[in-house]
Amino acid sequence: MGKERSRSSDMVNISVQIPAETAEILEKISKIEERPKSYYVRKGLELFLMTRLEDFLTSAHS
């Protein structure tokens, strides 16, 4: 059998500062949906970066 890699080995830690209001919203949603705050930060960053990349690629071909 092939050796499975743990998901955490593919992760990199970063530190960011966010506005207090954003942190409060993040905390509320995290508690309501019972997910870690890092889940929402990761998903939000992924969505933002993919959108920016698509915008860049679209404008580069115009």
pLDDT digits (tens, 9 = 90+) for 29-40: 999 999 999 999
Residue the block writes with tokens 């970063």: 14
pLDDT score, position 1: 47
- 60 pLDDT band (50/70/90 cuts)? confident
Separation of alpha carbons 26 and 10, rounded Å: 24
Domain ranges of the chain: 36-62
Separation of alpha carbons 22 and 1, rounded Å: 45
